Structure 1
Amino acid sequence: MAFFPAWKAWRRFKKLPPEWRNLVIYSESGQDWHQFSGLIETLNGALDRKTTYVTSDPGDPGLDRRHANYIALCIPEGLFLTIFFQVNASDLFVLTMMDLQNLQLKRSLKPVHYVYLFHSMGSTHMVDNADSFDHYDTLFCAGPHQVEEIRRREKLAGLSGKELFEYGHPRLEEVIAEGKAHPVSKASGDMPTVLIAPTWGETSIFNTCGEALITVLLQAGYRVIMRPHYQSVRQSPEVISRLRRSFEGHERFEYVGRQGETDSILRSDLLICDWSAMALEYGMGLEKPVLFIDVPARIRNPKWRELGIEPIEINIREQLGEVIGPDRLDEAALAIERLLADPGRFRDNMRRLRETTVFRLGHSVPDGARELARLADRQRGIGSGLNDA
């Protein structure tokens, strides 16, 4: 039944005047709306720029937005999305989807300029495929580490140099603001609240040592919030369900399954994580410590060491907190005590760390929107056919 709506949306995009195809944003999922919403607000408002938003998620919040400078279309995964990518006639095409050209969705046959927005502060060469970012023209980088990694990749692989814009990470700015607006207040003697929010995959915390870890924490008297990654719920539903059933009757255990929910993050005193880039946002944004469980990393690029650069997910861990192995879970309570012992010092350390790790703190969105507008002006008519009219 999705065939005809997808066909109609594709046909509608094809018939859009060139000025509506000058700056096009594509989103795989409504989960990414927060990556685009601020940019779109600035483009449509302060910069008075027309923007077409294409999503593959019928539940994307972007479909509900209304503005004179904004059009939203839904082309779900399938035949017409593949066709849309292949014959896409845009000048500037902005997305957070990795592996353009490597999988089913290819670069257009038209001379489209592709802009990739990094959706996390993580490194580019271990968790992702070696060539995940090779086929974009411009990359909006979160911090200096990504610039260094991309340039090294280009040199080793003999690739042409991309345009790298020092963008920053708007989500980190949002987390900083949320933390300031919702300070945690606890009664004297209240035990800390520990949030367990790891990455997903067979080697993640919940898949390998989740039950043992939660048991240790509850026995130590902590309040525990279990917050699985949405991919864990999709790919390992039996693991998540089993853990939830095992502890849901405990008065100090809480399960959070709502995606995009931030209350549990704000209420917590400490994060337990493995390799999720969320740890960077939590530590540097909320200025709260992270306890890392050293399960095997999820590695998509087995040759990542060839770049000669240690990924930020590895080298920043001990600045954000402590690391213990899954065979040392009995040490978790003592580690938590140490990490929470001097919150003032930890806050100062995080403020210094984020100033050197992330670009444009406090103004990434307005600067990023202006850069997109600049690129769209430069590319005007090249892919959309405006100059041929």
Structure 2
Amino acid sequence: MILSVIILFVIIQNSLFCYIDPGTGSLLFSALFGIIGTLFFLSKALIIKLKTFSFSKNKSAESVPSSKSKIIIYGEDKRYYNVFKPIIEELINLEIPIIYYSSSEDDPIFEIKNDLLYSEFIGTGNKAYAKLNFIETDICLMTTPNLDVFQLKRSKGVKKYVHITHSSAETSTYCLYSLDFFDAVFLNGEHQIRDIRELERKRNTVVKDLYVVGNPYLDELAKRKEIEEIKNKFRKNNDKRTVLIAPSWGMNCLFRRFGEKLIDNIVDLNYNIIIRPHPQSLISDKEIIEKFEKRYKDKNNVKWDFNSVNISSLSRADIMISDFSGVIFDYAFIFGKPVIIPSFTFDKRGTDAIEIDEEVWTFETLPKISFKLDENNFSNIANIIEDSINNEILKNNILKAKEEAYMYEGQASKRAALVLKNMLNEF
């Protein structure tokens, strides 16, 4: 069947001479090969199930609480540990069984030992989707977007799919159609409601249940902040300020937009420099990361941070330089410190934001809580760093933004668990 699809594709492309723009072409090719890959892995997974009647190489089918667990949580990467761990703990307190599937073999969730939790590594990419596309449960909770858009499909055995946001930025900054086919969404604040409702009206999609629960990730980060502050007291203090460079990934990231034109001006100053790329950039921007690692390998004041948890770098920094990454809000809301952002226009193509009539909350708020650095002013970065650190207006604006985007501080996991419990009672 797969061979037939490929042959058909070759025949068609030799017969047609229409123009497809690069963006659309990329989308079509991704969809085509996503379908082919999914069919292959789904058929393979089905054969394995028929042969073994088992979902795990380490545990027998009888040990999997599938008949008892009404909630399945999928963690696509271990970096979402701080999102799911507190919710899992609250669900256990409510005596609700959970199945946790992870695409990280070393996910710290596996260290939680409880009779109400079954956890399993299910592989990555299409191998994981082959498993998820056939799950059976009342509720499936995940941070992963684009359900039913590409490889990750709705399983007929799931009654309700719930997406949980892990960033204070609104979901319209995600890629196109990211939340269209979810049944419910857990939000950090009411600021995230408007864009979701606007897209529902424009696309005539099902109206989702929206619950403002807060941000379990930031709640966990706040707890770890206290531990890090104690550690910092015992670290050698050389009286230098620490600048954290934390770019996002993709075509809008700081590395791609400005590169060495900006970073050279920073690393040559008398600061401790921590460069912490977005985890996804290690995959999507690997060549660029390697280029800058090589460029600054002899700079003694430059340290790279590739850890999955960012709290150490955030706690040590006096100021952050970033682009549009969600870590800006983590840093501003938990540490109350300012951010410097080079001046450029975010390319909304390929994101839901391109269909929103008004400016999205993120791009409306970032200029208020950060100092916008003009490209012609890169050489003056030292003065800008000092001015930003001592800027009271920025600090006050951070507090206002935090009230909007980080609601129910310290209560998120408990609120999320209670909503999930109430959902189960409705079935």
Work out whether the TM-score is over 0.5.
yes
Flag the structure with more relative contact order, 1 or 2, with Cα contacts below 8 A and sequence separation at least 6.
Answer: 1
The answer to whether 1:169 aligns with 2:202 is: no
Deviations 1:134-190 (A, max 9, x none): 111110011112111111111222223111011111222233344455446799993
**Aligned residue number for residue 299 of structure 2:** 250
**Aligned residue number for residue 322 of structure 2:** 273
Residue identity opposite 1:132 in structure 2: S
**Aligned residue number for residue 382 of structure 1:** none
Deviations 1:115-134 (A, max 9, x none): 11012111222x32332101
The answer to whether 1:59 aligns with 2:106 is: yes
Q: 1:82/1:356 Cα in 2 relative to 1: closer, same or farther (>3 Å)?
A: closer
The secondary structure found in structure 1 opposite 2:340 is strand
The answer to whether 1:203 aligns with 2:249 is: no
**Aligned residue number for residue 192 of structure 2:** 146
The answer to whether 1:160 aligns with 2:209 is: no
Q: 232-241 vs 345-354, which deviates more?
A: 345-354
Gap regions ≥5 residues in structure 2: 1-43
* 1:316 CA displacement: 1.2
Contact 1:9-1:74 within 8 A present in 2 as well: no
The secondary structure found in structure 1 opposite 2:137 is coil
Q: 1:220-259 counterparts in 2 under 5 A?
A: 220-259=269-308
The secondary structure found in structure 1 opposite 2:55 is helix
TM-score by length of 2: 0.79
**Aligned residue number for residue 416 of structure 2:** 368
Residue identity opposite 1:356 in structure 2: E
Deviations 1:3-40 (A, max 9, x none): 87998426979765554331111111222222100000
Residue identity opposite 1:227 in structure 2: R
The answer to whether 1:39 aligns with 2:82 is: no
**Aligned residue number for residue 12 of structure 2:** none
Q: 1:85-96 counterparts in 2 under 5 A?
A: 85-96=132-143
Q: 238-247 vs 301-310, which deviates more?
A: 301-310
The answer to whether 1:71 aligns with 2:118 is: yes
Gap regions ≥5 residues in structure 1: 380-389
The answer to whether 1:28 aligns with 2:76 is: yes
Contact 1:205-1:295 within 8 A present in 2 as well: no
The answer to whether 1:110 aligns with 2:157 is: yes
* 1:359 CA displacement: 2.1
Q: 200-209 vs 133-142, which deviates more?
A: 200-209
**Aligned residue number for residue 50 of structure 1:** 97
Q: 1:357/1:150 Cα in 2 relative to 1: closer, same or farther (>3 Å)?
A: same
The secondary structure found in structure 2 opposite 1:103 is coil
Instruction: Give 1 or 2: higher helix fraction.
Output: 2
Deviations 1:353-388 (A, max 9, x none): 312222211211111111112112323xxxxxxxxx
State the percentage of identical aligned residues: 23
Deviations 1:27-76 (A, max 9, x none): 112222221000001111x2111111112222222233210111112222
How many residues are paired up? 375
Deviations 1:246-291 (A, max 9, x none): 2222222111122214212111100000010110111111101100
Q: 1:240/1:68 Cα in 2 relative to 1: closer, same or farther (>3 Å)?
A: same
TM-score by length of 1: 0.87
